[in-house]
Each structure stands twice: as C-alpha cells, then as structure tokens.
Amino acid sequence: MKIRDKRFLSKRELAEFLGISVFTIDSWVSERREIPYVKMGKRVMFDIADVLSWIEVNKVHPNALLDRGP
C-alpha cells in the first residue's frame, strides 16, 4: 500500500515520507511542536491530510520574500 493511500502514518512511515529521522519526529512530538499528530492509546499517528497541509503551510518561497521590498 502506498503512503498516500493510507489515512494515518506511523512515526517510521512519516520519517521515511519526509526524509528525516524518527528521532526528529520523536523530538517534535515530545515538545508538542512542529507537526500535528493524533494519540491512539499509546500510539502516536499522523493523519496524512494534516501532514500534507502542514507541508503547504510551512513552504518557504524565497522569491516572494524578495518581491516584498523594504
């Protein structure tokens, strides 16, 4: 099953999808910052729709910043 076909991702799946370490995911979750997550009992899961929205919100468009001027 492809990641985009799933509703929820595990920490390992999310780390693979984003190309970052599980340690980074654990840090973000323990500090309750960065990426939205869902607690399912003791498990931490990530709604793929929330992850994709988070990616869009956190995109940096360097040219747009330059166009603003002083």
State pLDDT tens for residues 14-45: 999 999 999 999 999 988 877 899 999 999 99
User: Residues 11, 25: contact at Cβ < 8 Å?
Assistant: yes
- Amino acid 19: pLDDT: 95
- Provide the whole-model pTM: 0.77
Whole-angstrom distance, CA of residue 5 vs CA of residue 18 = 16
Q: Which fold is adopted by the domain 3-67?
A: Arc Repressor Mutant, subunit A (1.10.10)
Whole-angstrom distance, CA of residue 68 vs CA of residue 70 = 7
Q: Name, in order, each residue with C-beta under 8 angstroms of 36's C-beta and a sequence gap of 6 or more.
A: 46, 47, 50, 51, 54
Whole-angstrom distance, CA of residue 18 vs CA of residue 52 = 10
Q: Where are the domains of the chain?
A: 3-67
pLDDT in tens, 38-57: 999 999 999 999 999 999 99
